[in-house]
Structure 1
């Protein structure tokens, strides 16, 4: 490259640059005005005004929000105070109403018990008079024997005799029953259910029982065992643990058959899985009460 003419005031732009720097492309600086036009789209004055409006708006919103929060807190406090005052004002009336209802229930239960006892006494007197009249001749005695057989099947007469006694005890509230895996029914700690007692009773019938009672209630044609919430009802009478099932019949034969029955197998499974208490024993002189006599309004003969 020709040397510059220093006399003409020229200079060599590559002076003092190495060969490596000489091969680099030349950088053309971007003017400040063009840079600001490409990057800053808003005039600084407008930006400052927008920032000022945003700051003042936030302060106003903050004051308004705090005011609404205070008003809401006052309203909630007023509502709670009114609810507490109303509860305190109505509490004596509610307690009095509960006491009246409880007294009415107890009175009704007492009246029902007295009427039931009176009914049983009258039924016993009627049966005694009927039996005295029928014992006088041969036809009457034959009719009396047939009535006794029908009364036994209908569970309308008390029974005393040997048989089996089955006692099932609920484990109650245990530390491990809070586990979901230990809950036989979701959300409930009850282990023994109506279907367990139903299967046990049916197994005793199949084992040769002549009369059965559950929780002191005689099982008959119209008597049911069902679940009502957390209670078990036998003929609409609530029973609780321990559940005692008495079966009158030949003890030895009943025990042999019942030990192989599905009812006892289920009880044993509950005993192993949930800790249910199961006790089976033979006894003499088991006493079973008579079942309530119900009026039959419709009947149909089957099987003939």
Structure 2
């Protein structure tokens, strides 16, 4: 069975064969960090936008080799004028300090880790409940400049328009890209829409309701291509968005079907994930359980599920 995309499975899981630095189109280069894992696929994608004075989007983890590859991807006389982040997970933002020290460029992002949390997730985080998750957050990053939804950041011959897309994480931004010679319609989708797999949604940083709203927010824009934080370019963004929405809606139905009946012994998120994600790589089962937990929070809030004791990722859930 091919690892390439099909109408039923739009993800492209073919391994990279094009080297660490790729010119994708005029004004856009991609640099891949050598940090492959079950959570990062072939590695984190760093993007260089523009020519001359350029923006670097997502410098990646703290990885000296990747830093040198980013700098070597610059042409003679080019310099980094802006460092921009899609979000603050540890495979995207910890490379900022070293790049900033080498270039003198300042940083732009939606905000520090936790910025943009919904009222629901703020309340859950403040409740003292043991929610688990959060192990992938970079809490040291503080941007020099904030980017709001719809705000346009301009450089020499390029521009990025921020699209706030919370859900995978609350401070996540996607970016519509403009550059000299580039056909309109390219979006850097970060980890909100990836080329190889669905995104983890892990409360309280992740929020399934916000994630679904962000997917719907991107629908109908008419974008030409997505360049994700992991995986290959997405040549049909609308089809991918429709697939992701339908997939998540089907997961809600599966979680509802997996919930024990009222009065029966409850099940925790991991128990349900084992029965739902039967074809997943065992290394990703923990991430799958986080997705289930995010769905369960929504089901509790809309009255379709209940849990025993304090809400947590280890709580036992059943139909209400």
TM-score, structure 2 as length reference: 0.19
Structure number with the higher strand fraction is: 2
Which of 1 and 2 has higher RCO (CA within 8 Å, sep 6+)? 1
TM-score, structure 1 as length reference: 0.19
Structure number with the higher helix fraction is: 1
Bigger Rg, structure 1 or 2: 1
